[in-house]
Amino acid sequence: MLPAIATLALGIILGYLAQRSRICFIGGLRDFILVRDAELLKGAIAFFVTAWLAFSVAGAVGLLDWQTPAYRAQPAAAVAAAPAAGESAPARSGAATGIGLPNWRLWALTAAAGLALGLVSTLANGCPTRQHVLAAQGLREGLFYLIGFYLGVIVYYLATKPLIALFI
Q: Give one DSSP letter per residue of 78-100, joined into a string.
A: HHHHSPPTTPPPPP--HHHHT-S
- Are the C-beta atoms of residues 15 and 136 closer than 8 Å to each other? yes
- Are the C-beta atoms of residues 22 and 43 closer than 8 Å to each other? yes
Provide the residue ranges of all domains of the chain, joining segments of one domain with +: 1-66, 99-168
What confidence score (pLDDT) does residue 94 get? 45
pLDDT tens sequence for the chain (168 residues) = 888 898 999 888 888 888 887 777 887 888 888 898 888 788 788 888 988 998 889 888 888 777 766 666 555 554 455 555 555 555 544 444 444 555 777 778 778 888 888 888 878 877 888 888 888 888 898 899 899 889 988 887 887 777 777 766
Q: How far apart are the first and last CA of the chain?
A: 40
What confidence score (pLDDT) does residue 95 get? 44
Pairwise CA distance, residues 144 & 134, whole Å: 11
What confidence score (pLDDT) does residue 74 get? 53
What confidence score (pLDDT) does residue 18 get? 80
User: What DSSP character marks residue 68?
Assistant: P
Using CA atoms, how far residue 107 sits from 35, 83, 100, 112, in Å, is 31, 28, 13, 9
